[in-house]
Amino acid sequence: MRNVSSLVVALSIVASIGVTAQQPQSPSTQEALLLAQGFGYLSSGDVARAAAVAGQVLAQFPLSEAGAALAVAAELPRSGWTGALSTYEQWLAARKAEDPYILRRVARACLHDALGNVGTRPRALEALIADGDQEAIAEASAGAAAGKFTETQALATSGDEKAVKAIIAQMDAMPQARATFIDALSRTHSKLAVPPLMKLLDDQDFATKARAADALGKLGARDAIDKLRGLLDDKQQFSVRFSAAEALARLGDTSGVAFLRTTLDTNASNPAASLLRVQAAAALALTGPDSGWMDTSRALLNDPQSHVRVLAAQSLAPYDNATARASLDALLNDPNPAIRQLAAQVLAKDVAGDFATLRSLMRSTDGEARLSAASRILEITR
């Protein structure tokens, strides 16, 4: 069992009551005794009996949080996190408030399930490691020791110095795969990643230079501000200038704002320019609320291109959550399945903060949306 805290709670309840077999049993005593029995079955691996006892507890005490915790814990090994989520929601129907810590157990199980999918494994590992999941940490450590990149990357995102150094060494050894390593380093939050990325700002390949600038912004590398300002020169390729301006915005430097505003207004009447304009709006959003980029984002919520509407909603989310949410809710019904998936992911990661929405998104047919929702539940219940 990954978590026996509920058993400890139940046993402590019994101990605090201090009843004997001869004493009359109050409702609280009956509940405590049943819980102790149920968690005892669970601890011994008899999940069927544990589930049966949980049913008795909830039949007599339908609002019991410990009873719900027992029911969910007993359901996880029988029907997985989806069955446990259904059990939780059945219990929730009799209440007005969620129980975040029962729900987080379901979310952790969802993420552990995602470890078995090649596509969702990297992010699931990262989310579990960030949550201090010892099983995931041990699994990632073993994989990293064997030279597996997914596991090394997951450990690196937690700031593990050995893993960060391993990625830097791989980036030096395989320059043809720099894009992958730069992206991995951008999520490490490690100062160790800053010097090698700063060197890449002088690279002859403009794509590498742009990616390095973006990564330094995400790392909060204020040491790179002077070099990033130098990349705003109009002699630089456009993507380099844009990435440098966006990185500076992340770092709280306004040197690139004028360039971003010019980009925001470029070809405003040309539908083909919508993607560029929404990207400029997203970069300007990093500097705080402003009627210029916000008006542009709101206008782009009506763009004929669905993916532009998703990005516009994402940029608005921190400052106009209701508008962003309404747009994304509509996009969940888009005829394009890729757009539905993207909208669900953004809704889970950047917009939704309520458990009802996150529970709904955990039932999405898109693995990434489920992963985003489960990760968000862990994040807001830590």
Question: H helices then E strands: how many in the chain?
Answer: 22, 0
**What does the pLDDT read at residue 169?**
96
Q: How far apart are CA 114 and CA 108, in angstroms?
A: 10
**Token digits of residue 245:** 């301006």
Task: Please name the residue ranges forming H helices in 93-220.
Answer: 100-114, 121-130, 134-145, 149-157, 161-173, 178-186, 194-199, 206-218
Residue 188 has pLDDT above 90, yes or no: yes
Query: Which of these, 335, 334, 367, 333, lies nearest to 348 by C-alpha position?
Result: 367
- Over residues 302-356, the pLDDT tens digits come to 999 999 999 999 999 999 999 999 999 999 999 998 999 899 989 998 998 899 9
Work out the average pLDDT over 113-138.
94
pLDDT at 231: 97
Q: Which pLDDT score, from 0 to 100, does residue 271 have?
A: 65
Task: Give the phi and the psi of residue 156 in degrees, each rounded to 5.
Answer: -60, -35
CA atoms within 13 A of residue 129's CA, in its CB half-sphere: 24
When pLDDT is cut at 50, 70 and 90, the band that residue 368 belongs to is: confident
Question: What are the tens digits of pLDDT across the range 57-95?
Answer: 999 999 999 999 999 999 999 999 999 999 999 999 988
Q: Count other C-beta atoms under 10 Å from residue 270's C-beta.
A: 10
Segment 25-38 shows an average pLDDT of 84
Alpha carbons 230 and 247: distance in angstroms, whole number: 12
Stated pTM of the model: 0.84
Sign of CA dihedral 202, 205, 207, 208: negative
Cα distance between residue 373 and residue 110, in whole Å: 10
Place of tokens 């360039």: 259
* Alpha-carbon distances of 36 from 13, 68, 117, rounded to whole Å: 9, 14, 37
Q: What does the pLDDT look like over 209-264, one tens digit per residue?
A: 999 999 999 999 999 999 999 999 999 999 999 999 999 999 999 999 999 999 99
Q: Where are the domains of the chain?
A: 5-97
Q: Region 129-140: what's the mean pLDDT?
A: 95
CA distance 244 to 231: 6
Check whether 1 has a pLDDT greater than 50. Answer: no
Which pair of structure tokens corresponds to residue 115? 């470890």
**Could you tell me the CA-to-CA distances from 28 to 5, 54, 259, 332 in Å, in that order?**
19, 15, 67, 45
Cα–Cα distance for residue pair 149/146, rounded to 1 Å = 9
Mean pLDDT score of the chain, rounded to an integer?
A: 91
Distances (CA, A) of 82 to 113, 135, 178, 358: 10, 21, 38, 14
Using CA atoms, how far apart are residues 313 and 328, in angstroms rounded to an integer?
7
- pLDDT category of residue 11 using cuts at 50, 70 and 90: very low
